[in-house]
């Protein structure tokens, strides 16, 4: 792919070590905050600024303010030998007074070179008062008068990491900005003029050279231009992927309904209105000759699995096979167990293809899938391994899509001829974010709970009341309840998580004895499954202490209490998912959200939403409003795109425009062959939209 990247971008895609002053040690630190290539520095935007243009005399320099002073170096006072705790002091002055420069752990020869006695220097930094005298500790800049232009400016302030100095990062960003090429314009000229936006190159230069606080706003012309470029690359990539999927001829899977009728007769309840509506939408897609690419968003417990089964049966009735792919072994197993009684009622064969199946048993099962004797296959991503062949895969259902990439869903669909694709998620995604992740799909929503589902009683409890809470749990255990106790996951540190979960486990064991069991992310899959199976079994442990490994899909009908420790650290979507694990078996559920006081106003508002509503879509929209798109759903675990320049809340209108623009482009110039199309190819490379580039290249 790199060889086909436009040569104009080569400098930007060079390693960060090609920037002057960034060696291998600093490169690791820069990579931590920005990324590993020069282009990543362009996207690392300032979050504040320091104005160094204020140049008073020493006598007028106000304490607490950043000032740039012109001073004469008067004297050096190094610390006494072998006592490095005393700072090195340099006395400077002008006609109005004196100031002491203070340095800790500094090298004497370095300071003598930087500040020669008798010479004039410009120094810039914060003025402090110590014993009534002005001082400046570790000035940010020290330069001779002929280099005044280096510091007499407004300096952008960037997000930092430990061990990296602002001066080094500022210099690296400046060098990266200097490498920006003048690229052919990819935006529609009339739209560009109407918005009053600069060219791409001018916009990059402007965002890294703010002159006032207003210039840091995401609404400035330069920032809005770059946000639009990023959103357009995202929407164009999705539109091209969708076009390719649609170009592959589909097939009609109408079915005569006889298998579906048997399953509906075997169900102990009637379908909800929402399930029926969604089935009609899916049925219309499957019956048409175009390939289906549909996202099914269903809140926790809204009955997605039954909808998926009925869709799969439409394919089986048409003489084809279907596959259901889940993100984990335990979830795949659970789907298979839930669906088997229903497929048995319809008289068809459903099999679980597990990674644990070995030898002759595996070979025999794969032969039955390849011959078509297995009509529905359930499994993890193992389903699209090379050794698995289908006789005729008509429908691929992918559960919890955010755990898989676009290319993975395409790979599974490629196992068949004109395969329809249905993607399911129980993570309610705000409409604006759904556009950025699933803009290549039609969307259906299940927004009703099945009959008989009781609301979950949600309460906020301070961690100060932990002892009372444990006592209440003890009473619940003695009356036969099953309880989840979830400890928070600190992304960067599995070991700290594990320590927190283990500590809570031992604490509860002292009170509840052997009825407590522990599950965490560092356990082997088999150990995890065994622990979960024990918890699921009627006579098994009553309390499961876990990090968030239990979040997606695990079904324990007897579980009635969900307790989340440090609930303020979780995303609302995660809390909503966890709450959906209880009250599934017809018994009322309780969710206790334990928080550490004092809560910030935002945290208070977020936890109150959880208490006040069970509508996952409303919760997701509120979470987006309160926290912004960067943190919603915990972007890392949600598979949603990470935007560096766009803010979905601020730039929502630009997202809608970018979507329309992308559709228009793909309709008029699907191969991006026109002059604007060629410039748009550069845009896709610039924002590393690899799937779209592969799509273009493979025609």
Contact 413/419 with Cβ under 8 angstroms?
Answer: yes
Residue 698 belongs to some domain of the structure: no
Give the angle subtended at the CA of 224 by the CAs of 222 and 225, to the nearest 5°: 65
Judge if 413 and 524 occupy the same domain.
Answer: no
Rounded CA gap, 597 and 460, in Å?
A: 11
Residues whose CB is less than 8 angstroms from the CB of residue 119 and which lie 6 or more positions away in sequence, other chains included: 72, 73, 144
* Same domain assignment for residues 461 and 499: yes
Of 571, 593, 613, which residue constitutes the final position of a domain?
613
Domains held by the chain: number = 4
Tokens, residue 567: 């609930």
What's the pLDDT tens digit per position in 619-644?
A: 877 877 776 554 444 433 344 567 88
Please check whether residue 651 lies inside any domain of the structure.
no
Whole-number percent of the chain with pLDDT over 70: 91
Q: Which residue has the higher pLDDT, 624 or 46?
A: 46
Alpha helices, H only, 372-493: 406-413, 431-438, 466-478
Same domain, 112 and 147: yes
From 13-27, 60-74, 410-424, the region with the lowest mean pLDDT: 410-424
The confidence score (pLDDT) of residue 547 equals: 78
User: Does 134 lie in the same domain as 279?
Assistant: no
The average confidence (pLDDT) of the chain is 87
Q: First-to-last CA distance in the chain?
A: 15
Q: What is the pLDDT of residues 349-392, one digit of tens each?
A: 999 998 778 889 899 999 999 999 999 999 988 887 788 899 99
Least-confidence region, from 150-154, 163-167, 186-190, 298-302:
298-302
**Domain presence at residue 507:** yes
Same domain, 586 and 502: yes
Q: pLDDT-based confidence at 549, cuts 50/70/90? A: low
- Residue 465 and residue 562 share a domain: yes
Q: Which structure tokens are listed for 669?
A: 């110039």
pLDDT given for residue 643 in this prediction: 86
Q: What is the pLDDT of residue 498?
A: 62
pLDDT of residue 638: 45
Among residues 423, 446, 469, which one ends one of the domains? 446
469 within domain boundaries: yes
Buried b / exposed e over 556-572, threshold 16 CB at 10 Å, is: bebbbbbbbbbbbebbb
Q: Check whether 413 has a pLDDT greater than 80.
A: no
pLDDT 10s digits, 644-686: 899 877 888 899 899 999 999 999 999 999 999 999 999 999 9
- 401 has pLDDT over 60: no
Average pLDDT over residues 577-585: 81
Q: How high is the pLDDT of residue 633?
A: 40
- Identify the pLDDT of residue 306: 94
- Per-residue tokens: 667: 């309709």
Q: What is the pLDDT of residue 476?
A: 92
In the structure, what pLDDT confidence band is assigned to residue 533 with cuts at 50, 70 and 90?
Answer: confident
Instruction: Please determine, for residue 3, whether its predicted confidence score (pLDDT) is greater than 60.
Output: no
Checking if the pLDDT of 600 tops 70, the result is yes
- Domain shared by 191 and 148, yes or no: no
Whether residues 421 and 462 share a domain: the answer is no
> SS3 of 140, please?
coil
Angle (nearest 5°) at CA 422 between 418 and 424? 160
For range 152-161, the mean pLDDT: 89
Task: Assess whether 144 and 183 both reside in one domain.
Answer: no
- Looking at the fold, whether 396 and 514 belong to one and the same domain comes out as no
Q: Is residue 208 part of a domain?
A: yes
Of the listed ranges 112-121, 311-320, 551-560, 577-586, the least confidently predicted one is 551-560
Q: Note whether residue 373 is domain-resident.
A: yes
Q: Which two tokens stand for residue 319?
A: 């003489």
β pairing state of 376-379 and 88-94: unpaired
DSSP codes, 219-253? TSHHHHHHHHHHHHHHHHHHHHHHHHHHHS-----
CATH of the domain at 299: 3.40.50.300
CATH number for the domain that contains residue 98: 2.40.50.140
The per-residue pLDDT for 491 is 47
**pLDDT tens string 233-262:** 999 998 888 787 777 778 899 999 999 999
Q: Is 225 among the domain residues?
A: no
pLDDT reported for residue 366: 94
Q: Among the listed ranges 14-23, 84-93, 477-486, 513-522, which one has the minimum average pLDDT value?
A: 513-522
Q: How confident is the model at residue 536, as a pLDDT?
A: 84
Looking at the fold, whether 210 and 291 belong to one and the same domain comes out as: no
295 part of a folded domain: yes
More confident residue, 453 or 638: 453
User: Residues 107-139: pLDDT tens digits?
Assistant: 889 999 999 999 999 999 999 999 999 999 999
Domain end residue (candidates: 613, 643, 669): 613
Give the residue with greater pLDDT, 14 vs 327: 14
Are residues 461 and 326 part of one domain? no
Who contacts 152 (Cβ-Cβ below 8 Å, separation ≥6)? Answer: 52, 53, 55, 68, 122
| Residue range(s) defining the domain that contains residue 535 | 456-613
Q: What is the pLDDT of residue 630?
A: 46
The pTM for the full model equals 0.70
Q: Is the pLDDT of residue 63 over 60?
A: yes
Residue in the block written with tokens 């869709």: 311
E strands of 52-200, at which residues?
A: 66-77, 88-94, 97-103, 120-126, 128-130, 133-137, 141-143, 154-157
Q: Distance (Å, rounded) from C-alpha 61 to C-alpha 512?
A: 65
pLDDT in tens, 220-237: 999 999 999 999 999 999
């Amino acid at each position: 792919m790199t060889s086909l990247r436009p040569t104009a971008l080569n400098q930007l895609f060079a390693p960060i070590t090609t920037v002057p002053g960034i060696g291998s040690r600093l490169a690791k630190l820069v990579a931590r905050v920005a990324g590993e290539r020069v282009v990543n520095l362009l996207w690392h935007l300032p979050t504040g600024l320091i104005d160094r243009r204020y140049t008073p005399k020493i006598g007028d320099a106000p304490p607490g303010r950043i000032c740039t002073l012109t001073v004469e170096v008067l004297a050096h006072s190094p610390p006494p030998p072998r006592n490095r705790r005393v700072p090195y002091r340099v006395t400077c002055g002008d006609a109005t007074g004196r100031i002491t420069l203070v340095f800790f752990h500094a090298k004497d020869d370095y300071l003598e070179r930087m500040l020669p006695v008798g010479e004039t220097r410009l120094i810039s930094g914060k003025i402090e008062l110590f014993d009534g005298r002005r001082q400046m500790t570790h000035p940010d800049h020290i330069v001779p008068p002929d280099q005044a232009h280096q510091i007499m400016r407004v300096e952008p302030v960037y997000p930092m990491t430990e061990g990296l100095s602002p001066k080094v990062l500022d210099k690296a960003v400046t060098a990266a900005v200097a490498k920006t090429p003048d690229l052919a314009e990819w935006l529609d000229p009339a739209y560009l003029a109407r918005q009053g936006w600069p060219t791409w190159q001018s916009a990059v230069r402007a965002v890294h050279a703010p002159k006032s606080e207003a210039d840091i706003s995401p609404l400035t012309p330069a920032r809005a231009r770059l946000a639009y470029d990023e959103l357009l690359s995202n929407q164009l990539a999705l539109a091209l992927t969708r076009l390719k999927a649609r170009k592959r001829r589909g097939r009609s899977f109408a079915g005569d309904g006889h298998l579906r009728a048997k399953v509906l007769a075997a169900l102990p309840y009637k379908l909800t209105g929402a399930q029926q509506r969604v089935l009609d939408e899916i049925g219309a897609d499957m019956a048409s000759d175009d390939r289906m690419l549909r996202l099914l968003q269903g809140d926790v417990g809204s009955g997605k699995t039954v909808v998926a089964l009925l869709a799969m049966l439409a394919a089986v009735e048409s003489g084809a096979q279907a596959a259901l792919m889940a993100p984990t072994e335990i979830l795949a197993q659970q789907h298979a167990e839930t669906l088997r009684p229903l497929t048995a009622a319809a008289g068809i064969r459903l099999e679980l293809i597990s990674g644990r199946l070995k030898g002759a048993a595996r070979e025999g099962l794969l032969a039955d899938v390849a011959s078509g004797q297995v009509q529905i296959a359930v499994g993890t991503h193992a389903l699209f391994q090379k050794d698995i062949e289908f006789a005729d895969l008509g429908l691929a259902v992918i559960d919890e899509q955010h755990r898989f990439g676009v290319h993975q869903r395409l790979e599974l669909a490629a196992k068949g001829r004109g395969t329809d694709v249905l993607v399911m998620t129980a993570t309610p995604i705000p409409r604006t974010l759904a556009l950025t992740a699933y803009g290549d799909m039609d969307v259906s929503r299940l927004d009703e709970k099945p009959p008989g589902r009781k609301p979950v009683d949600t309460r906020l409890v301070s961690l100060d009341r932990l002892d009372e809470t444990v006592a209440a749990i003890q009473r619940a255990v003695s009356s036969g309840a099953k309880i989840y106790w979830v400890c928070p996951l600190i992304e960067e540190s599995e070991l700290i998580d594990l320590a927190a979960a283990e500590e809570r486990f031992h604490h509860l064991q002292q009170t509840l004895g052997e009825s407590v069991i522990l599950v965490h992310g560092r356990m082997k899959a088999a150990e995890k499954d065994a622990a979960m199976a024990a918890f699921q079994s009627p006579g098994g442990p009553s309390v499961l202490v876990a990090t968030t490994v239990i979040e997606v899909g695990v079904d324990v009908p007897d579980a009635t209490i969900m307790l989340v420790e440090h609930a303020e650290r979780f995303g609302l979507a995660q809390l909503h998912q966890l709450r959906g694990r209880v009250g599934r078996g017809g018994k009322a559920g309780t969710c206790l959200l334990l928080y550490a006081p004092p809560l910030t106003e935002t945290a208070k508002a977020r936890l109150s939403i959880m208490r006040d509503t069970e509508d996952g879509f409303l919760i997701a929209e509120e979470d987006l409003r309160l926290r912004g798109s960067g943190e919603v759903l915990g972007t890392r675990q949600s598979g949603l795109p990470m935007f560096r320049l766009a803010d979905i809340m601020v730039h929502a209108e630009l997202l809608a425009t970018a979507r329309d623009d992308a559709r228009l482009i793909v309709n008029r110039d699907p191969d991006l062959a026109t002059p604007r199309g060629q410039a748009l190819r550069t845009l896709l490379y610039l924002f590393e939209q690899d799937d779209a580039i592969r799509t273009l290249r493979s025609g």
